[in-house]
Amino acid sequence: MDADLRTLRERLAEIADLQRAMAVLGWDQRVSMPRLGAPARAEQLATLGRIAHERFTSDEIGRLLEELRPLEESLPYDSDDASLVRVTRRDWEKNRRVPAELRAETIRAAAQGQQVWIEARANNDFAAFLPALERNFELRRRYVECFEWEDSPYTPLLDDFEPLMETTEVAEVFDTIKPVLSELVKEAPRVDASFLDVPFDPDRQRELCTRLLDTLGFEPGSWRLDPTVHPFCISFSTRDVRMTTRYQPIGLDSIWSTMHEAGHGQYAHGISPSLERTPLANAPSLGLNESQSRTWENLVGRSLPFWAHWYEPLQATFPDQLGHVSLDRFLAAINRAEPGLIRVEADETTYSLHIILRFDLEQRLVDGSLAPKDLPEAWSAGMKDLLGVDVPDDAQGVLQDTHWASGGIGYFPTYALGNVISLQLWAVVREALPDLDAQMEAGDLRPLSAWLTENLYSLGRKLTPKETIERLTGSPAIDPQPYLAYLREKLSALPAGA
């Protein structure tokens, strides 16, 4: 049995290496690859993806998993070895349903779509993007046909990002938060943030963002930050974390974009080294992963204690723009609720409404009740209904996100789930770290990073999402109430007409 476990680990490590090599190619495509390299890159990714899929879904892996059932049952549930066998078996059983050629074609279309999207977005040309969009949804519908589901054909796609959660469960959470968020947005005081809507030198933004990352608990030499069209984070190991952001000529959104991706990076960096090169070396779900990007972006990065330390360095970096702006006025501006067009630039209150729109559109695109060609019209109608804004063009509308271009269909709900989960976990963090505010005021974020690493990040995928939430909070349920209470309190504290 020890020999079987050793062989399983060896096979899984080889597959993980292939997947990490694909990740390197994907990072390069989105950060530094010349655009004419896209066709060849799509073939490279498809080839590696097919090989990795075939190796993982092999009869040998299935035989090893079956031979190891007695070992799994004899060990503690959350031990590395028992978790490895259990989690790998579920992944294997799901992936066995998917033909290798479908997997390869899906990866190829996603890589091709990424480059098409970049150019279509730059040219505000939805018609140029439409064939790639139609192809990606066609392939995802073929993927859905590989599975059985009870509530919705969207569930197999959701399961790729939020394992063991059904579409109806997401809808229940969203039905709870949607009316409250809409009302909060309507009642929120108007806050003058015009001092942020001015030019900020991108090079100085980059220097400040790098200084911030140096304080978050990353081991020196384990990360890098690069500019890209659409910010993302990816890791090739726990000690090779790649974060990206974008430095706009107007505004300071790069700060919170960087903090957001740093949350993803912290999760990857904090996974136990014992899980490296296995299917366990990841977060249990993207909802939990997003809970940490939102924690670092918002619960830390928009808080008074954090800016009590960092506002003077920010003013010193941009004296002409912020030298005359008080800390209170700055905090009111970065915590205001104000409907806008762009999801990644949205405030905490309106952000989840952007996600609820995408969740609705994705379901309709998957079940066929909405044709891809009609997406811009449906998008504009949804933005008007949910946020009260008019969409002036497709670049600021349906073309703003990369997910549908790169095949990430089913991903969007995890962002709003992450918002909700972040406040559930934050209550536990606050209780465990009673001196957290004082630590942030002193610019010391290492105790927070260390606690999250020990109690959450290090677990990787050893537990299911619900088991992970229950271990920290005492309940497996995703509870929207702490999130809604937090937003109510925050908005009620904003000075009217600030």
Asked whether residue 498 is domain-assigned, the answer is no
Instruction: Please name which of 350, 387, 409, 425 lies closest in space to residue 177, comparing C-alpha atoms.
Output: 350
Asked whether residue 463 is domain-assigned, the answer is yes
Q: Which of these three, 82, 111, 146, is where a domain ends?
A: 146
Does 345 lie in the same domain as 237?
Answer: yes
Q: What is the mean pLDDT of residues 355-368?
A: 97
Distance separating alpha carbons of residues 2 and 79, to the nearest angstrom: 15
Question: DSSP label at 250?
Answer: B
Does 351 lie in the same domain as 479?
Answer: yes
Give the pLDDT confidence of 198-239 residue by residue, as tens digits: 999 999 999 999 999 999 999 999 999 999 988 999 999 999
Residue 116 has pLDDT above 60, yes or no: yes
Determine which one of 169, 261, 290, 297 is catalytic.
261
Asked whether residue 158 is domain-assigned, the answer is no
Asked whether residue 65 is domain-assigned, the answer is yes
**Mean pLDDT of all residues belonging to the chain:** 96
Does 444 lie in the same domain as 487?
Answer: yes
Distance separating alpha carbons of residues 338 and 97, to the nearest angstrom: 45
Looking up tokens 């726990």, which residue turns up? 238
Distance separating alpha carbons of residues 340 and 390, to the nearest angstrom: 9
Does 223 lie in the same domain as 112?
Answer: no
Share of the chain above pLDDT 90, in %: 97
Answer yes or no: 261 catalytic: yes
Does 415 lie in the same domain as 289?
Answer: yes
Helical spans, DSSP H, in 99-216: 100-123, 126-144, 155-161, 167-187, 202-213
Looking up tokens 């409250």, which residue turns up? 180
Asked whether residue 155 is domain-assigned, the answer is no
Give the pLDDT confidence of 123-157 residue by residue, as tens digits: 999 999 999 999 999 999 999 999 998 899 999 99
Does 394 lie in the same domain as 424?
Answer: yes
Does 357 lie in the same domain as 255?
Answer: yes
Does 195 lie in the same domain as 124?
Answer: no
Does 302 lie in the same domain as 227?
Answer: yes
Does 221 lie in the same domain as 112?
Answer: no
Give the pLDDT confidence of 475-495 residue by residue, as tens digits: 999 999 999 999 999 999 888
At residue 192, the pLDDT reads 93
Asked whether residue 316 is domain-assigned, the answer is yes
pTM: predicted TM-score of the whole model, two decimal places: 0.95
Q: What is the mean pLDDT of residues 45-73?
A: 97
Q: Could you count the other beta carbons within 10 Å of the beta carbon of residue 430?
A: 12
Q: Which two tokens stand for residue 476?
A: 């497996």
Q: Are 233 and 244 in contact (CB under 8 A)?
A: yes
Question: DSSP label at 154?
Answer: T
Give the pLDDT confidence of 157-203 residue by residue, as tens digits: 999 999 999 999 999 999 999 999 999 999 999 999 999 999 999 99
Count up the domains in the chain and report the number.
2
Give the pLDDT confidence of 261-299 residue by residue, as tens digits: 999 999 999 999 999 999 999 999 999 999 999 999 999
Q: What distances in angstroms separate CA 471 from CA 33, 80, 447, one per listed residue?
A: 42, 16, 20
Residue 1 has pLDDT above 90, yes or no: no
Give the pLDDT confidence of 335-357 residue by residue, as tens digits: 999 999 999 889 999 999 999 99
Q: What distances in angstroms separate CA 53 from CA 15, 56, 103, 144, 236, one per listed residue?
A: 8, 5, 7, 17, 18
Distance separating alpha carbons of residues 384 and 387, to the nearest angstrom: 6
Instruction: Quickly state the pLDDT bin for 496 (edges 50, 70, 90).
Output: low
At residue 81, the pLDDT reads 97
Residue 63 has pLDDT above 80, yes or no: yes
Asked whether residue 141 is domain-assigned, the answer is yes
Q: Which two tokens stand for residue 431?
A: 């209780």
Residue 497 has pLDDT above 80, yes or no: no
Look up the domain containing 47 and give its range: 2-146
